Each structure stands twice: as C-alpha cells, then as structure tokens.
Structure 1
Amino acid sequence: MITVTPRSAPLPGELRAAKPGLRPGRAADAAALADLARPFVRSGALRERPVALYAARAADFLVAEGHGGSLEGCVGLRVYPDDVEDQGPAGVLYNFCVAGHRQGRGVGAGLLRAVLARSRDQGVGALFTATTGDGALFLRHGFTPATARPAPLSWVKSLDPRRNVRVLALTW
C-alpha cells in the first residue's frame, strides 16, 4: 500500500537537508526498511512485513539514503514475468514510503522516477500499485485508476478488500 502522511512545515530559517542518494536495497537494510514503514503500518496505510521478508526481498527495493546512511524513503518493485497478456512482464510497486521529515522535498518523486526507469530497463510493460491515499504522485507520473483484474494474479489475491485500496496502473 502506498500513501503519504502529513508533514510538518519547516521552521523559519530551517535549512533543507542535502538531497538523498538513491541506491538498490541490501539485506543489511532490512531493519531500517521496517523502521521506515512503521508509521505507515500504524496508520493502516501499509501492511506490516517482518524484517526477514525485507531481508529476503531487499533486491526489490530502491532506497533513498540520507547523509549519515539513514534511510529516508523506499519503494519495492516486484516483477512478475509474462503475467500481463500481450505486455510481457508486469511490475508491482509496493511499500512506497518517505520519512515524514523528508516529505514534500522531492524524495518520493525521485524514487518514483528512478523505479520507473528501473522497471523499463527490466522490460516491464505494465506497472501496478495500490494505495489507501489519493495517489496524486502516481497520477502526476502517468498512472491512471484501474481495476485489479489485469494485474498479476498473485498480487491481486494478496489485496485485502477491507482496506479499500485504489489500484493504479501505468503502461508503455
């Protein structure tokens, strides 16, 4: 699930932190990924995932690393080979979150641009995501509201209808 939480406005005179570096996730990031997701899990925007799952799927993630090595954002890209008819592999973006103190500063947009490029490089023909929020960032990057029907079946089966998610898709 993907969403954003409200952020506090910068204090007068507050300097913007340096732009985070983007890099692939590593198994060693597992605990930090779980910590980054925790506020979103508490709000109901994300499902809780065990640290072991983050470690096992670390290669799915692109992370925004701040000064000092702290994770300031992440997004997972799971590729499902040949799962969308006539479009080749399909991808699902998941666990997209940005630390509250970095929201509204381009971290999410940078992560999304990079994961879109990564998915094209992997030959993904269609991308899907589910959000409990308004999905505005995705919509600005070409996603459109969609039904879950054309998405990878195993992902569709994992969606919890009680969460009232909105499915968005992007094809190229």
Structure 2
Amino acid sequence: MTTATPRLVAPPSRLLALAPPLVRAAHAGDAAALEALSRPFVRSGALRERPRSLYAADAADFLVAEGPDGTLEGCLGLRVHRSETAGDRGPTGVLYNFCVAPHRQGRGVGRLLMRAALARAAAQSLSALFTATTGGGDLFLRCGFTPAGTRPAPTAWVDSLDPRRNSRILVRAL
C-alpha cells in the first residue's frame, strides 16, 4: 500500500483567472470588444468616446490583452506620426486609449501592454512616445515617461486634444 499526499489542484476556472493574458495585435473584428472595454472609462471621463467604426478602422494601432477565455482585458493604441521637419530625430508615436478591465487592474495587464507597446515602438525606430492623460499617469511615469509641453509633440496630435479635458502630456525618449 502506498500512501501519497493528495495534491490540491485549483479548479480550472480559478487557473484561468490566474493565467496571464496574451498580448497580441488587434484586428477589425475586435472593434466591438474594444468599444465595450473602453466604455466604462469613457463614462468616467478618462477616455474620449470613439465610435465602433473608428475602432475597426484603427484596429492596426491597437495591442490587446486577451484573457484565456478570449475576452479582451486591456488595450493600448500606438499611432505613428512621421517627422514634421527636416531637423527632427525621426518619427514619433502617440499612445492612446489605454485601459484595463476593472477586474484585471493591479495584476500586471497594463505593464504587459506597455512593454509590448515599447517593443513595437522600438521595432518601428520611433524616436519618442507621447501620451496625454487626465489622471495621474503613474504607470507611464514608472515606465520612464516625463512631463512635456506641446512643442516637441506631433502637431496634428496636439491639435486634436480637447483643451477642456486638461490633459497632461508625457513623453519618453526611445
């Protein structure tokens, strides 16, 4: 007779909840999920409202964190802006529509998305990344972003910002 110590095994649903999400490029078919994921942040005023058609058209900008069950748990857009003058250091990028589902906040999903965005920016030889935030921007600051003015930022992007939102512009040189 052998006596083995029983191993406690978490139920499959618990294991799925603990599994890290897969970060991947979004596609047009993710538009409805991107819109739904962003909706609570739009309601709170943290994000600007975008129609589903815009998420579909700009899907190539987005990285998404997909949970083991296929639901989107976070997203982050990265738009490339070409150099505006001959003396510029090259193209820059703008991070936008960064959100993580409330039930996944504080579990590293945002950091995974940020790492993937930084890697994508480096692969595209961007000289800097900009973002605008109405919040504290803590994750951006922990990832090397610093406060910046509008002057070094892409003009078209700065012109698109809503001054009533009092967004703070942050930059990270790459």
Task: Normalising by structure 2, report the TM-score.
Answer: 0.88
The answer to whether residue 21 in structure 2 is matched with residue 20 in structure 1 is: yes
In structure 1, the residue corresponding to 2:82 is in which secondary structure?
A: strand
Segments ≥4 residues shifted beyond 2 Å:
13-17, 83-86
2:16–2:69 CA contact under 8 A, matched in 1: no
Q: Which residue of 2 aligns with 1:127?
A: 129
Per-residue CA deviations over 1:24-60 (Å, capped at 9, x if unaligned) read: 0000000000000000000001000000000000000
1:143–1:169 CA contact under 8 A, matched in 2: yes
**Identical counterparts, % of pairs:** 66
* Matched AA of 1:34: E
Q: Which residue of 1 aligns with 2:90?
A: 88
Instruction: Name which one, 1 or 2, has greater alpha-carbon Rg.
Output: 2
For residues 83 and 99 of structure 1, what CA distance do their matches in structure 2 show?
A: 35
Q: Which residue of 1 aligns with 2:46?
A: 45
Per-residue CA deviations over 1:67-112 (Å, capped at 9, x if unaligned) read: 1210000000000111375220010000000000000000000100
1:17 CA drift (Å) = 2.5
The answer to whether residue 119 in structure 2 is matched with residue 117 in structure 1 is: yes
Unaligned runs of 5+ in 1: 1-12
* Matched AA of 1:110: L
For residues 109 and 171 of structure 2, what CA distance do their matches in structure 1 show?
A: 21
In structure 1, the residue corresponding to 2:23 is in which secondary structure?
A: strand
Q: Aligned to 2:143, which of 137, 141, 144? A: 141
Two-structure CA RMSD over aligned residues (Å): 1.6
Q: Which residue of 1 aligns with 2:164?
A: 162
For residues 67 and 80 of structure 1, what CA distance do their matches in structure 2 show?
A: 33
Point out which structure has higher relative CO (alpha carbons under 8 A, 6+ apart). 1
Change (3 A) 1:70 1:16: closer
Aligned residues: 160
